[in-house]
Structure 1
Amino acid sequence: MMIRPIFAAALVASTALPALADDIARQDTPAITVNGEGSVTAPPDLAQIDAGVASDAKTAREAAEANNTAMARVLQALKTAGIADKDVQTSRLSLQPQYAQNRPGQPAVTGYRASNRVTIKLHDVAKVANVIDTVVAAGANDVGNVFFSVAEPSKLLDQAREKAVADARRKAEIYAKAAGVTLGQPLNVAEDGALTPVFRAKTFAAPMAAGAPTPVAQGEETLSVTVSVTWAIKAAQ
């Protein structure tokens, strides 16, 4: 009854031997490991804006009602501007007491602040300035960050990967020449780090003066990739 388990264990061991032998051979192969970097720049084609309304009042109910009314005007203005409902999402909703400052003892509640903020997604970055002006004109007094990004970075990242491997080969050839050896085939390629591009943002601390358009600079996004490549080396001919 013990023959089958022993045979199975022997079979597993025998099938694992070629892979183990390959790993040992690879470890014994003279090699050089270098890092390569590649990056691609592109204009952003997607933007996000944080905008909303903060309302102060003596009571919580008054603050909430005033905020609801003001935020309804902002949402209607976005709809009139052609922003789809699916591209507007509530990001913050709060109602908090406000306290008297610099008073000894137990701080007294002086009123309440209601806040409602939404994130607006724009598929046309040229509309960023107009949308900011639209929400401010509708009553938004809490306009925050503007984030620019690339909607589909995969193809750009693939270009960066090609550049990163080419950079690794360039460096490896320099080291091989300096060491008096010849560069062989790549034995291993590993991608390092997170690949999601970091999006730059611009903050609008306060609405612009009436009649003055909001200045917005979209710039460019840089997507970078770093790879580690191990190359086989052999004595120069």
Structure 2
Amino acid sequence: MMNKILLAAALAPAALIPGAAWAQSASAPTTVEPLVPAAGAVLDVSAEGRTSRVPDLATIRAGVVSQGATAAAALSDNAQRMARVLAAVKRAGVADRDIQTATVQLQPQYRYGENVPPTITGYQATNTLSIRFRDIAKSGSVLDALVAQGANQIDGPNLSIDNPDAALNEARTDAIQKARARAELYAKAAGLRVARIVSITENGQDAGGPERPMMMQAMARDAVAKTSIAPGERDVTVNVSVRFLLN
């Protein structure tokens, strides 16, 4: 990551800064610390703090695609199979709050010919659930059970960290420590010392949210192999800009 480094001597006392002069002329006395201190030099350092966690939340889309000669037939078949899939999800212990309908579609299927209008040959119904697994180790076996009950479309997983606050705080601490160490290095090289921090700005964070998902192909209902999902690790990062006063 490119670090933005700025070392500059203060050019004017606070009273000569237009904003500060306006503050002094206000009727109520106000003390405003200028962005650039009146004495000393400032050093701006950008740093990225980083830590890692094992993801503890997997989100997967599982659904049923049905074909029918009529719209009603496609929807009816889809509804029956989806009811079995939903029942299997709940039997596996997935809470209602972790089950959400993601997609419901009904589309005509066409046959195309040369110099003739397209002809509807049937209908395709799709119903997809978004399912969150809070025990990633068990999610593979649940997916196998869903396929056995009629699910024929599975996408995912999206792996993420359910409660990233502690990890983000670790990353923030790491970022400030890195910025401080870099400031000490530059100050020593310039024959100065770090007096204090003037300001801290958090520029962005990555809380270990889902990346672009790995796509899982729809599995045959008679498949023998067991599905497994490896959580790995996710980086949690925070970017900060810190202004130091040197003298």
TM over 0.5: yes
Q: Distance in 2 between matches of 1:15 and 1:195?
A: 42
CA-atom RMSD in angstroms: 2.1
Match of 2:108 in 1: 97
Bigger drift between 133-142 and 27-36 goes to 27-36
Within the candidate set 158, 168, 171, 2:182 is matched to: 171
Q: Distance in 2 between matches of 1:27 and 1:12?
A: 19
Q: Distance in 2 between matches of 1:193 and 1:97?
A: 45
Give the 5 Å matches for 1:152-171: 152-171=163-182
* Residues 191 and 25 of structure 1: CA distance in aligned 2, closer, same or farther (over 3 Å): closer
Relative to the length of structure 2, the TM-score reads 0.83
Code of the aligned partner of 1:212: A
Deviation at 1:102, TM superposition (A): 6.0
* Residues 16 and 54 of structure 1: CA distance in aligned 2, closer, same or farther (over 3 Å): farther
The answer on whether the counterparts of 2:85 and 2:150 sit within 8 Å (CA) in structure 1 is yes
* Residues 186 and 211 of structure 1: CA distance in aligned 2, closer, same or farther (over 3 Å): same
Structure 1 runs (4+) greater than 6 angstroms displaced: none
Code of the aligned partner of 1:44: P
Match of 2:244 in 1: 231
Q: Which has the higher helix share?
A: 1
Match of 1:114 in 2: 125
Deviations 1:126-164 (A, max 9, x none): 111111111111110111121111111001100000000
Indicate whether 1:68 and 2:89 are aligned: no
The sequence identity of aligned pairs, in percent, is 38
Deviation at 1:13, TM superposition (A): 0.7
Match of 1:205 in 2: 217
Deviation at 1:29, TM superposition (A): 4.3
Code of the aligned partner of 1:231: F
Deviation at 1:26, TM superposition (A): 2.3
Relative to the length of structure 1, the TM-score reads 0.87
Within the candidate set 115, 126, 150, 2:161 is matched to: 150
Deviation at 1:196, TM superposition (A): 3.6
Bigger drift between 103-112 and 33-42 goes to 103-112
Deviation at 1:104, TM superposition (A): 4.0
Within the candidate set 44, 61, 71, 1:50 is matched to: 61
Match of 1:3 in 2: none
Within the candidate set 203, 206, 220, 1:192 is matched to: 203
SS class of match (1:213): coil
Q: Distance in 2 between matches of 1:25 and 1:74?
A: 63
Deviations 1:32-85 (A, max 9, x none): 000111111111111111101010111100000000001011011112222222
What is the number of equivalent residue pairs in this alignment? 223
Match of 1:6 in 2: none
The answer on whether the counterparts of 1:46 and 1:150 sit within 8 Å (CA) in structure 2 is yes
The answer on whether the counterparts of 2:161 and 2:207 sit within 8 Å (CA) in structure 1 is no
Code of the aligned partner of 1:213: K
Indicate whether 1:215 and 2:240 are aligned: no
Code of the aligned partner of 1:50: R
Indicate whether 1:14 and 2:27 are aligned: yes
The answer on whether the counterparts of 1:36 and 1:166 sit within 8 Å (CA) in structure 2 is no
Deviation at 1:27, TM superposition (A): 5.8
Deviation at 1:25, TM superposition (A): 6.3
Q: Distance in 1 between matches of 2:96 and 2:30?
A: 60
* Residues 160 and 102 of structure 1: CA distance in aligned 2, closer, same or farther (over 3 Å): farther
Q: Distance in 2 between matches of 1:220 and 1:25?
A: 41
Deviation at 1:106, TM superposition (A): 2.4
SS class of match (2:193): strand
Could you tell me which runs of 5 or more consecutive residues in structure 2 were left unpaired when the two chains were aligned.
1-22
